[in-house]
Amino acid sequence: MPETRHHKVLVLGGGVGGYVAALRAAQLGLDTVLIEGSRLGGTCLLRGCIPSKALTHAADRYAEAADGSALGITAAPKLDLKKTIAWKDGIVDRLNSGVASLLARAKVPVVEGWAIFSDAKTCTVETKAGPITLTAEHVILAAGSEAVPLPMLPFGGTIISSTEALNITELPKHLAVVGAGYIGLELGIALRKLGAEVTVIEMADRILPRYDAALTRPVRRWLDRNRVTLHLGAKITGLDAEARLGVETAKGEKLALTADKILVTVGRRPRTEGLGLEAMGLDMAGPFVKVDDQCRTAMRNVWAIGDLVGEPMLAHKASAQGAMVAEIIAGHRRRFDPASVAAICFTDPEIVVAGLSPDEAKAAGEDVVIGQFPLSASGRALTLEAGEDGGFVRIVARKGDQRVLGIQAVGRGVAELAGEFAHALAMGAVLEDIAGTIHVHPTLGESLGEAALLALGRGLHI
């Protein structure tokens, strides 16, 4: 007979959604257990946000050293990619053990192994010490997501997902990236900066199809300037007998590309297979577990959060939902409001979006005012070499009451503005709140104040 344990709260998955849910539940005095089949930290810490940003940073350092000539700085950097990856792994290990310590301090036991549910509140985990059956009053599902392969390009060998790309120790001479979403472009740009020849193939007729065209233009300019070959509106036809990548271009031309690595980044899907979801009596929303605005599933006291429940598949959304569910279980009144979930593309330049774009606001029936401040007019942007690539900060507000509906930016270094954008939306700011905030000089944040002034019809620096 397997050992049986009962807890008030069982969290499945030790990613940023699950471990935050467990920490908050423990903080609120709930007897909580967490199950993780791989390593604590999940996609974000181990093979997503953190390692990709480490690689992006290393690539920036290399590219800056290689081309500082306009600033009177020249150097000839040398790349030891094994060392770069070891440095990145050091960060990942540190965060992984950090999560373990946080859980230990919160007295949340971690059961290591893959869980399979036999009903909504019971699962069995095959641990190294043998099987354990766990039951709970509340179950929080945070199983995350995985990369989607293309049927004609299954992962393996030269065909890699973002996970393998983040562990590459030999720079590919030629990298083909299939899918020009944020993951493909972040990695493609980083490897281009490190010296790989990069070709991007995308089915849509433009890069980053989920972002509005004005925001993606500066990124497109970077790709063109840095000789990244783009095939837009193109189809993958598979590998030929010589392992060349077949591409049918928008014009119907058939190409055979020789690439030593083919990075497939066509999307991610929720991890719903293999955990016994079918035994839990949940409803689905397409491939995702269906939840309401409190992350309740169709089964009483079974909750689901993070990538498992749909877009946006972002770390901070998963954590926010995790903390919220713990609080609801503890008796708090909470609802999830996605309006202030900002998203960032760590491309070159970076893109930040929060709330509604002008087109989305109009489609929602809003009559809007827009203020757009170019970074070429920001002194701080010029000192950061961030003023010349067409970047800007844009604010979208309702005409009637000047309530801010969305804020977006593109430009080098704008990622760090995301907090102020999200804050403005979360607090329900109006244009005067932002225009009246004394922004520190010289910072990129001043550009948001200027965008608000422009929307109010009294821009000062343009």
Binding region for ligand FAD (CB under 6 A): 12-18, 35-38, 42-44, 48-49, 52, 114-115, 142-145, 162, 183, 271, 275, 306-308, 313-316, 318
Helices (H) and strands (E) in the chain, counts: 13, 24
Contact present, 315 and 49 (Cβ < 8 Å): yes
Q: Residue 211: helix, strand or coil by DSSP? A: coil
- Which lies closer to ligand FAD via its Cβ, residue 275 or residue 375? 275
Is the link from the previous residue into 338 a cis peptide, with omega within 30 of 0?
no
Q: Report the distance separating Cα 277 and Cα 298, nearest Å.
A: 12
- Which lies closer to ligand FAD via its Cβ, residue 51 or residue 449? 51
Phi then psi dihedrals of residue 405, to 5 deg? -105, -25
**Least distance from ligand FAD to the Cβ atom of residue 143, Å:** 4
**Least distance from ligand FAD to the Cβ atom of residue 142, Å:** 5
How far CA 446 is from CA of 192, 215, 375, 414, 459, in Å, comes to 32, 19, 10, 11, 12
**Least distance from ligand FAD to the Cβ atom of residue 182, Å:** 7
- Which lies closer to ligand FAD via its Cβ, residue 54 or residue 308? 308
**Least distance from ligand FAD to the Cβ atom of residue 109, Å:** 14
**Least distance from ligand FAD to the Cβ atom of residue 136, Å:** 14
Question: Can 441 be counted among the known catalytic residues?
Answer: yes
Spell out the residues 6+ positions from residue 151 whose beta carbon is closer than 8 angstroms to its own. none
Q: Which ranges of 108-262 does DSSP label H, i.e. alpha helix?
A: 162-165, 182-193, 213-225
Catalytic residue chosen out of the listed positions 138, 439, 441, 461: 441
Contact present, 12 and 22 (Cβ < 8 Å): no
- Which lies closer to ligand FAD via its Cβ, residue 179 or residue 411? 179
**Least distance from ligand FAD to the Cβ atom of residue 358, Å:** 24
- Which lies closer to ligand FAD via its Cβ, residue 36 or residue 348? 36
For residue 38, what are its two tokens? 């791989």
Start-to-end Cα distance in the chain: 74
Q: Report the distance separating Cα 337 and Cα 327, nearest Å.
A: 15
- Which lies closer to ligand FAD via its Cβ, residue 109 or residue 442? 109
Contact present, 293 and 336 (Cβ < 8 Å): yes
Q: Residue 13: helix, strand or coil by DSSP? A: coil
Residues labelled as active-site residues: 441
